[in-house]
Structure 1
Amino acid sequence: MMLKSKVAVQVISSGMLPEDTLMLGEAQMKQLRIPQGQHITLRFGSFSRNVKAIPIAKFEGIRVSQSLAKKMGIHQNATLGVRYKEDTSSVVLGPLIGVLVSRDYPNMPEKPFGSISMFCRELAQACAEQGAYVYFFTPNQLGDMASVSGWVFAGGWKKTSMPMPDVVNNRITSRKMESRPSVQHFLKEVKLQHTSVVFNEKFLDKAEVFDALKKDETVARYLPESHLLRNYTMLNAMCSRYSSVFLKPIRGSLGKGIIRITRAESNKGYLAMFATASGSRKQMFNTLEKLFSTISTKMKTIRYQIQQGLQLIEIQKRPVDFRALVQKNAKGKWAITSIVARTAGDQHFVSNLARGGTLSTAAEAIGKSNLQNGINKHEASVRLRQAALHIAKGVDAQIPAHFGELGIDLAMDTNGRVWLLEVNSKPSKNDNTPLNDNKIRPSVLALIQYSRFLSGF
């Protein structure tokens, strides 16, 4: 039997309370069925300590000594979830969430995590309000598997030694860093030794996602025809089937390195458009062979996915696509947090914001677009939401890794059919919506609720 509630943890000076004593409100001890005056185990993440629980009348909360709080990594009074596990006689506080980020800048106390510092602070603030505790750490801070040097927000950012968390959210944004042996070892051991749950365990690559989703009947209809580009025969087959095709680097991000190939109108040759940081560069080729020989030099270092070109909806000749943020909720089920439309910038055929695109709501963009067949905004929005949920469930079912949030890029063609462009297991935290009036964003709240679900709080 586990009763759940939240409790305020008061840290009081060590001279007034021995380290091995826990003071608890009398009503709470009764409610949680904690035996009085007996030795029990206090747990917080991987931290555990035998303590004696003493009831206090007319008091709500838990009191711990400063030295005990320091060992737990709790800096000041915090509100945490609490439960009593009868089978092990332990009072468990939490959830303790560890967010693994790519890097920190200790000499920038205001922005120790670069561009995601605002997100980190928002998550820390939301945890304080929601009764959870979060710290942030990087691959360089992984030591022995007993504790980790992490950042907590307590009136400002502080670095401190923390127990291993109940839940690890992997926010590493570099593939190279994620594949480091030390990181892989940590992710494996934290699950084995501390039964921590890790979500968003790994990067996805386009070929892996498309190959896995082809096997799923509900999702296969959203997939444009795509293959790993191996040779000229494949390029020729795809170019004769479709009037335009896209070559996408398997490990690309931010639309870098995408090439669009279109058959020239007079059937005389092929036009290749290369996405570059400053706009798109065009090049005409008389024959597909010549085009292929240009690309084949790139293919020595880059693996491409070749994909059927789509007749996407446009606003004033600028292609539009959609980014859906899909997250698991308090019940552990996929739900849609937001869908935004991204319209390509003037000189670009890639709609990424990093390339001068603009954001709007999905309904707004659909309303202004050249969508045909009399499909209304509402119906089109419903199709996008349905597709995003089907795809998230498909990724979960077909790819052997644990995900708690996915950024799903979708497109809609002029007939109103929805297509999957790509799935991102590290959805960006620095560009989705501006912080307004200190309100916690739903995307941040969802992370905490799912962490609570995973850890049983």
Structure 2
Amino acid sequence: MRKQYQIEISDSASKTVYIPNELNLHTHLTKLAFGTHSKDAAFLLQKTKKNSIVISKDVADALHFPDLKIPLHAFANKGTLYLGPLVGIFTSGFTSFPLRPVGDRTLFFAKLLSVKKTVGAIPYLFGDQHINWEQGTIRGLFYHEEGWETFEVPFPNVVYDRLPNRKSERRNELKEVRDRLQKDYLIPWYNPGFFNKLDVYERLQNDEDISHYLPETHPFSSFSVIERMLADYGHVFLKPINGSLGLGIHQIIYDKKDGHYYCRYRVRDENRLRKFNSLENLMGNIFAGRSLSRMLVQQGIHLLRHEQRTIDFRIHTNKDENGEWNVTASAAKMAGHGSVTTHVKSGGEIKTLEELFESDAEKAAALEKLSEAALKISKALERNMEGIIGEIGFDFGLDRNGHVWLFEANSKPGRSIFKHPQLREFDFLTRKLSLAFAVFLAEASIMKPQEIFR
């Protein structure tokens, strides 16, 4: 169990740090470090305040240590005492408005940063424009006492990637920041990038432990693939390989009785269902003039229904302060009437599992299956994908036989399920663990860097 210490700044001495006796047991300390900065200091034993570390003001100033009254962790290694972690949350889309520094995402980040005392970390927001490479400092945005403040602090112990979309991720200047901080400063960087649906499928399909969760999926190549899959499954989905929020998804259904093809999709805030006498007519009308090279074809599943509406499930997993995977949120999503997806913007509704299942036994059985799948696939993604993964949002289906199917894995999961009043405790837990994992990474990078940077 890691311990947190109150950090105090004192005017009374110079180049001095007072520490509890327990921190002086393993190594003779000569330096204090905060983020990537360190400073020589004399370490004296703290006689009265057992849970406090007192830093002289000149040392605190040299380290750019902000006096935010946040209890922190302390890691001693090779003569240096590291305070923190200092967690940089990297994003883009900053505005010039002090009350809304990241526009519509300001409230989310305020809530994320507000778990700092619970976790024992100092988190701040930054973008490429806030970095001073010559000084090794960042003008970070801190959410402190219910307002936003800017402090100049060192480069962080760990970076949590919260870039908002693929477009920002592709910008060269943002790639350069990530590469430079990782390679030149050996700063662990977690949750990089966005998952590509086809890439995830191809990497996981050979993993025997979890391949049975994967619906048959192919990049679009010809009408004949769709025809064959319609014959096998009755319906298929066409999805953008890099899509999100359910945009651009089409369901194609073949009715054997009347011999017609149907297409369900959404356009201009309206759910549509159209009928065609052949697949060629359907494709020629619905996808006229559009390239299908960035689409995939996925097996349709006969899902559980509630009130005649299809259901899928959102399960969140997070790594915790011990580097272990946890299921941190679970919810059901009910499709809107006539909608091809369960997204709220398409008329979908969020339900708790208690609202969905009539008996506790049914709910417990479903949650056990979904949780087992989520934890297994989290570990499989970690084995098969590049970078350090700390959180995943899964979209699962349960078919009428109770089999679990993976529809999508999201490296930066949306948070619409947390608008449901009974899911707010999950909201807090996912935010808490997304920063608690930074404590694990910071300690590992200090004590066992070979495990992080192998």
Give TM-score scaled by structure 1 length: 0.87
Residue from 348, 351, 362 that aligns with 2:353: 362
TM-aligned CA deviation for residue 455 of structure 1: 1.4
Aligned twin of 2:122: 133
Q: Which residue of 1 aligns with 2:448?
A: none
**SS of residue matched to 1:72:** coil
TM-superposed CA distance for 1:246, in Å, is 0.6
Counterpart for residue 260 of structure 2: 269
- Map 1:108-147 onto structure 2 (within 5 A): 108-109=98-99, 111-144=100-133, 146-147=136-137
State which drifts further: 426-435 or 403-412.
426-435
Q: Which residue of 2 aligns with 1:372?
A: none
- The answer to whether the 8 Å contact 2:272/2:338 transfers is no
- TM-superposed CA distance for 1:28, in Å, is 5.3
Distance 2:73 2:398 in 1: 43
Conserved in 2, the CA contact under 8 Å of 1:98 and 1:136?
A: yes
Please state how far the C-alpha of 1:25 moved relative to its aligned partner.
4.1
User: Cα distance, 1:80 vs. partner?
Assistant: 1.2
Which residue, out of 441, 449, 452, partners 2:428? 441
Confirm whether residue 61 of structure 1 aligns to residue 53 of structure 2: yes
Q: 1:316 to 1:26 in 2, by over 3 A?
A: closer
Q: Give the equivalent residue in structure 2 for 1:95.
A: 85
Displacement of 1:301: 6.9
Q: Which runs of 5+ in 1 are unaligned?
A: 369-374
**Matches of 1:169 and 1:199 in 2, distance apart?**
5
**CA shift digits 1:381-430 (9 cap, x unpaired):** 21111111111111111222321000010011111111111000001246
In structure 2, what residue type is equivalent to 1:195? L
- Could you tell me which residue of structure 1 aligns to residue 451 of structure 2? none
- How much does 1:67 deviate? 7.6
Separation in structure 2 between the aligned mates of residue 366 and residue 31 of structure 1, nearest angstrom: 55
Identical aligned pairs, as a percentage? 25
Change (3 A) 1:56 1:84: same
Closer, same or farther: CA 279–307 of 1 in aligned 2, 3 Å: same
Which digits, 9 at most, give the CA deviation of each residue in 1:246-269, with x for residues without a partner?
Answer: 101111111111111111353332
1:438 deviation in Å?
A: 10
Report the 3-state secondary structure (helix = DSSP H, G, I; strand = E; otherwise coil) of the residue aligned with 2:382. helix
SS in 2 for 1:194: coil
Q: CA deviation at 1:340?
A: 0.6
Residue in 2 that maps onto 1:409: 395
Which consecutive segments of 4 or more residues in structure 1 shift more than 6 A?
Answer: 434-440
Contact 2:350/2:417 (CA < 8 Å) preserved in 1?
A: no
Whether 2:245 is the aligned partner of 1:258: answer no
C-alpha deviation, 1:30, in angstroms: 4.3
**Residues 360-399 of structure 1: matches in 2 within 5 Å?**
360-367=351-358, 376-399=362-385
Provide the TM-score with structure 2 as the length reference.
Answer: 0.88
2:254·2:261 contact (CA, 8 Å) conserved in 1?
yes
Q: Counterpart of 1:420 in structure 2: which amino acid?
A: L
Question: 1:260/1:185 Cα in 2 relative to 1: closer, same or farther (>3 Å)?
Answer: same
* Aligned residue number for residue 154 of structure 1: 144
Q: Which amino acid aligns with 1:377?
A: K
* Among 303, 312, 316, the residue aligned to 2:307: 316
Taking a change above 3 Å as real, the CA distance of residues 181 and 301 of structure 1, as seen in their structure-2 partners, is: farther
Higher mean C-alpha displacement, 418-427 vs 182-191: 182-191
Tell me the distance in 2 between the aligned counterparts of 1:383 and 1:437.
20
Q: Which residue of 2 aligns with 1:41?
A: 31
Q: What RMSD in Å do the two structures reach over aligned CA positions? A: 2.7
Whole-angstrom distance in 1 between the partners of 2:402 and 2:424: 37
Confirm whether residue 344 of structure 1 aligns to residue 335 of structure 2.
Answer: yes
**Partner residue, 2:386:** 400
CA positional deviation for 1:153: 2.2
CA deviations on 1:356-402 (whole Å, 9 max, x unpaired) are: 3221222432439xxxxxx9332222111111111111111122232
Output the CA distance in 2 between the equivalents of 1:174 and 1:100: 12
